Structures are given as C-alpha cells and as structure tokens.
Amino acid sequence: MSEEIRRVYEFGHFRLDVEECALWRDGEKIALTQKALELLLILVEHDGRLVTKAELVEALWPDTYVDENNLAVTVSMLRKAFGEKAGAGQFIETVPKRGYRFVAPVTKITPGSGDLIVERHARTVITVEEEEPPKELEGDAGADVRKSLAGETQAKSIWRRRALPLGLLLLVLTLAGALAYVLWKAKRQRDSAAAANAAQPTATASPIHSIAILPLKTIGAVQPGDEYLGIGMADALITRLGSVRQLAVRSTSAIMRYANSPPEPRAAGRELGVDAVLEGSLQHEGDRLRLTMQLVEVSDGATIWTGQFDEHLTGLFELQDSISGQVAAALLPHISSEQRELLARHETDDREAYKLYLKGRYHWNKRTPESLQESIRLLDEAIARDPLYALAYAGLADSFVLLSEYGVAPPADTFPRAKVAAGRALQLEPDLAEAHTTLAYVFASYDWNFAEAEREYLRALELNPNYATAHQWYGELLCGLKRFDESERELNRAVSLDPLSAVTQMDVGLLLFYRRDFDAAISQFQKTAQSFPDFPSTRMALSLVYERVGNLDGAAAALIEFVRLLGADEKAVGSLRELYKQQGYQALLKTLLAGADTEARRHYVPPFTRAAFYTRLKDRENALLWLGKAYAERFRYVTYIGGDPTFDFLRDDARFQELLKRVGLP
C-alpha cells in the first residue's frame, strides 16, 4: 500500500477531507478560510484533548505576531459552519481561559489501494491521556509529548503533513500505550512532514506589498458627533500600519473620495493601485462600538483576514491595537519585535485626548478654510489634555502650514506656529516621519533654508520610505531648485504611492512645464483634468501652458472653467465667455485681476496672485512690485519663480535676478 494515504474524518453530518482541504456537510462544500480548516484539523486530530490557546496560536501562526482575538474569530467561523453557539458546542467545547477541545465522536476513513479502513474515535477512548505531559517524562521524551500536544510540525502548513501507517491505533489504550503512541506519532509526523515538504514545495500566495484602508461604513443612524469615526478610524489605522516598512499604505487623502460612498473593495483597490484593501463597517449603540472588518486581495477577491470586534467606545486604543496587529500578521509572514512595538504604541493614555485627535484629523482631511480652523481648535484641546501628545502636535503643524494657501491668513501668522508645533512633536517623538516632513516643508516654503529642508525630507523618507507626502513635497522642492531629474524620481514615487492625488498629478505636469516640455505638460494637465474634473488648480495650470504656446482660446477656456469650479454662477461664467469673445484675452486677464483686488478687501489674497496676473499682462513694474510684496510676505510660490516659464518675461531684468539671489534660487 502507498505510504501517501488520503485522510477523511466524519463527524455528525460533516466530512473533513484533509488532502482536498475542504469541509463538506451532506455533500455540500462549506466555504471556510484556510486558517479555519487548519484549526479544525488540529482539534480533530487531538482526539478530544484540550488544546490551549497558546498552542493553537503557535501552530496556526508560527513566528508571527497575532492577537488572541484572531483565534476567537477563527473558532467563531467554525461554530457558524456547524450551526452552534459558544458555550453550548456539539462539536467544539470552550475551556474558559484555557483553550478548546473537539468533543464530537469522529470516524476516520482512509481509502487507498482498494482497502477501506475505518477508525472510530470517541472522547471516552482518550480521556486517559493527560492535557499536559506526565511529569516523569523528561528530556527528549517529554519534549516529544509537548510538541505533539502543541501540534508542532516542521511543515509550513498543517495540510502538508502525511498520514501515519495504518493499524497502529487501538480502540482502547492503556495510559502507557497512549503515551507511547503520542511519542511515536510526534516523531513520525515530523519525519513525514519534512519529506513531504522536500518533495512538494508549498505554493506561496502572491506577496502583498501595498494596502489601502477604506473609510469605515456606518450602519444605522449616525449619532451626533460621530461623523469623524469612519474617517478617523481609517486615518489612525493608516498611521499605525504605515510604520511597517514592508507595506506601502495609501494616505488618508487618497481614500477621502470614498468617504460618502465606499465602492466595492476590489474596484477601489484597482483605482488605488494596491494589492489588498481593508474595509469595514461600524455601528455605535449606546456606549458600545461594533466593527466588522475584512482584508481582501485585489487580484482575485480572496478574503485574507476577517475580524469582528465589540468594544466600549472608550476602547478605541484596544480596537486599533487588535486590528493593526492582526492585519500586519495576516499580510507579513514575519514581523520584528520592533515593528510589533510600533504597532502597539500609544501616543497618549488620555482617551478623550485621543478622540479629539481623531476629530481634528477628520476635519484636517476635509481641506476647507473652515475645517482647517476647526482642526486647529480640536488639536489644541487634545494638547491641553495631554501636553506630551506628539501626534497632536504633528497634526497641528499640518493644519497651520495649509492656512495661507487656503486664504485664511498670511504665512507670517501660520508658518512660525507650524514650525514650533512640528519641533515640539519631534522633541517628544524624534522618529515621527510626519513631523520631519512638515518641518521640512516649513524650511522650504517659509524659511527658504533649502539645505535644511532637504535634510529633513531625507530623514522623513529614511523613517518611512512609503510616505507619499514626503516624496511629493521633496519633489516640489527639487523642481524649484531646477533639479528636474531628481524631482521626477520623487514625484513619480509619490504618484505610485498615491495615484488618486490630484495635487501630485498636477505637480507632474508642472515639472514638465518647468522643463519647457510644453506638449507633454498639456497632455498631463488634460489627463489630470479628466481624472479630477472638480479640481480647479489644474485648469489654472493648463491656462498657463496654453498661454505660453500661444493657444489663447485654450487658455481662456481653461481660465473660465477655473472660475466656474471656484463657485461662479452660470451668469458670471457666460459674461466671461462673452468678454473674451468680444474683447480678447487681455481683457479677460484684467477682469480676473480686478476680481482678485475686490476679494482682497474682504479676505486674505496672496500678493503672489496679483504678481502672476501682472506678469501675464506684461506689466513689468506692477509685476515686480507685487513680487516684492510676495517676497516680503515669504509666500511659498516665490520659491518656484526661478524655473517657471510664466516669469520669463522678467528674467532679463536685474531686479528679478536680484530677487532670485535673495531667495536663494539658481
């Protein structure tokens, strides 16, 4: 008879086929994960003996960080398949605080070479066996028993183990016979497993290098003040998993488009260019928060991991610890102790401060003048509760650096405060890549200390090479310094990490524009406008390059569309179209400049805006006047004028060249 023997176990209406790796009920195959099937086989083959939680975790996830809750979830899958409830198991018995045992009578059927051998196992047969090795068994014998009870095998998968030769199990075992059999079985399984592994290498799944975490869907009515939870939880998990160097985790800005209507996971994964997608739903009832999560492989839709969590709302720390740890373990075969510590690290022990931080990040990601100011208020409250909360300081810095670009306040009112907040974050947490990135942005955009900015960007990327924002902002700095090849490398990396970022896609077009590759720039801006039809800045950039090549019809159309996307009504848009038709492109530019002058009486408008319009109107004196004001204000766009073709009109002017020297531009 062949040594390779097929094993089939029957219990109740169920049949477990080891070689087919399948569970059947009355001839119908039951859908189960690989881990659930492996767990079932361990329990069945332990013949009613207790298997501790630690033994099961070690057998199912060897050398991998796994939260014990993952085991409970897997057991729950089996109970659901059997139609039983925890605590009243016909098949699986829970031993509180210890582990599990399989209690149903089992029939082993081993067909092969025309023979049919049936071995029946019942719990009463094996109750003579100890749950722990007898104390008198020491040395190798005791080790063999312990390894056998733990289900230890040298094979990578339980399903690769070979069957034992037949006829060695007795229906009634004496204590000595049972122990001798356990010792023999352990050695035989290890030897057979090693042979099977050598002969038939285990097929490995496609490696997962990138992941997107979608905003959590809310089930039922959203309670007042809970709007932040779906995005806030996703943002927190993105930050946690972003610390795992082997994984490229899409940024929160990349998944914001799915906040209101999350798509099917694989479709989102294809859009985001990732290998796997983590999605989930949450339900807030009273003081409890219930989450259901699943990790889906984009290529084939296979479920890599699932988890169900039920916590008090105050248990957000525990939820994120458990989810991030389990997801990392499901994706990576091995995870270092250092990475485990990073995943489990809490930046604050104040739960209310943590909730304020989540709310602050939620508003920051909305990117409106009002939401940025609300973000600052919430993060200030978080810091007031915990003055040692590094992430809250980093979030505060991120909010301040955007205020001037969104027309809230001039740079002098925002960037110094951002610098202080980022510096404080790094005092508390020197290895915080986000804070290094924001500090670099301040150095580049306000201090115009480009060498120090570059050092900070490189430090941020050393700490987190998959941080898309660091690549993007570093690429912008290099573009302003006319180091175009290096800029292209960084911007392309940012796009690969965050393919749904309209700003990064536009940056690629601006790089082409600065390189004077105008046809390619037009093509890139058109592509970006098609992908992000509601993003106004692309239209402004497109008008610049059309204007530069003499396509004034195209430039006018892009400018008018820019105004429409900013919120102008159809009457105003129609008036601009008629103005261009009747009076030409110069009249259109003058009208838009007058609009900026009017708006500046009510709100902050950067001087650079008017400097750019005067340059396009070929008004040298006013262009230089407003550029001087932008320089005095230290507005960040001044750092790009060295390579911007828009300012070629001024390039032969000594005053313009002197300005470049003062900024430190080549």
| CATH number of domain containing 298 | 3.40.50.10070
Across residues 12-26, what is the average pLDDT?
84
Segment among 219-233, 286-300, 397-411, 480-494 with least mean pLDDT: 219-233
- Judge if pTM exceeds 0.85: no
Backbone dihedral angles phi then psi of residue 517, each to the nearest 5 degrees = -95, 75
Are 276 and 134 in the same domain?
no
| 3-class secondary structure, 106 | strand
**Interatomic CA distance for residues 360 and 388, integer angstroms:** 17
Whether 163 has a pLDDT exceeding 50, the answer reads no
Position with higher pLDDT, 158 vs 263: 263
Mean pLDDT value across residues 575-589: 95
More confident of the two residues 468 and 137: 468
Mean pLDDT of 388-398: 92
> Mutual orientation of helices 316-331 and 68-82 as an angle, nearest 10°?
80
Residue 392's pLDDT band, with cuts at 50, 70 and 90, is: very high
Residue 189 pLDDT > 50: no
Average pLDDT over residues 381-406: 90
Looking at the predicted structure, is the pLDDT value of residue 483 above 90? yes
Assess if residue 417 is contained within a domain: no
Let me know if residue 532 belongs to a domain: no
Each residue's pLDDT tens digit, 282-298:
777 767 777 888 888 99
Question: What is the chain's length?
Answer: 666
pLDDT value of position 233: 77
The pLDDT score that the predictor gives to residue 220 is: 64
Q: What is the pLDDT of residue 250?
A: 87
Same domain for 229 and 176: no
Q: How confident is the model at residue 582 (pLDDT cuts 50, 70, 90)?
A: very high
Cα radius of gyration (the chain): 32
Burial of 473 (0-12, 13-18, 19+ CB in 10 A): buried
- Name the band, by pLDDT with cuts 50, 70 and 90, for residue 628: very high
Least trusted range by pLDDT, from 152-156, 343-347, 447-451, 455-459: 152-156
Domain at 66, CATH number: 1.10.10.10
pLDDT at 363: 85
Segment (H or E) for 381: helix 369-385
The string of pLDDT tens digits covering residues 92-124 is 888 877 888 888 888 887 655 444 444 444 443
Question: Are residues 88 and 173 part of one domain?
Answer: yes
Answer yes or no: do 143 and 83 share one domain: yes
* Confidence at residue 349, expressed as pLDDT on a 0 to 100 scale: 77
Report the domain count for the chain: 2
pLDDT of residue 309: 75
In a domain, 320, yes or no: yes
Choose one of 346, 363, 385: the last residue of a domain: 346
Residue 660 covered by a domain: no
DSSP states of 398-464 as a string? HHHHHHTTTTSS-HHHHHHHHHHHHHHHHHH-TT-HHHHHHHHHHIIIII--HHHHHHHHHHHHHH-
**Least trusted range by pLDDT, from 208-212, 224-228, 478-482:** 224-228
Of 199, 218, 245, the one marking the end of a domain is 199
Q: Token pair for residue 316?
A: 């957000």
- Are 138 and 225 in the same domain? no
Per cent of the chain over pLDDT 70 is 76
- Do 167 and 255 lie in a common domain? no
* Residues 60 and 107 grouped into a single domain: yes
- Residue written as token pair 């490229």: 248
Q: How far is 528 from 163, CA to CA, in rounded Å? A: 59
Shared domain for 178 and 265, answered yes or no, is no
Residues 147 and 278 in one domain: no
Last residue of one domain, picked from the residues 346, 381, 406: 346
Q: Which domain holds residue 85?
A: 8-199
CA atoms within 13 A on the CB side of 165: 7
Rounded to an integer, the average pLDDT of 331-359 is: 71
Q: Which two tokens stand for residue 501?
A: 């970022």
73 with 192, same domain?
yes
Is 372 within a domain?
Answer: no
pLDDT number for residue 88: 54
How far apart (Å, rounded) are the C-alpha atoms in residues 27 and 44?
A: 20
Are 166 and 270 members of one domain? no
70 found inside a domain: yes
Same domain? 158 vs 298: no
Question: In this structure, is residue 543 part of a structural domain?
Answer: no
In a domain, 303, yes or no: yes
